[in-house]
Amino acid sequence: MSESLAMGHYGFYVWTAFAVFFIVLLIDSLAPVARRRRNLRDLRARLVRQENRRRPGTPPSNESHP
């Protein structure tokens, strides 16, 4: 097993190439999931703010405005 993992003298090149492949695709697959969640969260916060503004007298939300 350790012999086949060493890939002859080429272990460094082969395993670095595979690491690059997986790291790049991992970043590529995680980024859009995080982006979609962030978009939904931002939109929810905006809708809540709008709702509070439309009905004055209701207690202000505890989020701080920039």
Residues of this chain that bind another protein (CB under 8 A): 4, 7-11, 13-14, 16-18, 20-21, 24-25, 27-29, 31-33, 35-37, 39-41, 43-44, 47
Are 61 and 48 a contacting pair, CB within 8 Å?
yes
- Rounded to whole angstroms, the Cα distance separating 25 from 13 reads 18
Which tokens sit at 22?
A: 């997986």
- Closest CB to another protein among residues 36, 53: 36
Min dist CB 1 to another protein, Å, is 9
Query: How far is C-alpha 37 from the chain's CA centre?
Result: 8
- Closest CB to another protein among residues 7, 60: 7
C-alpha R_g of the chain: 25
- Closest CB to another protein among residues 6, 60: 6
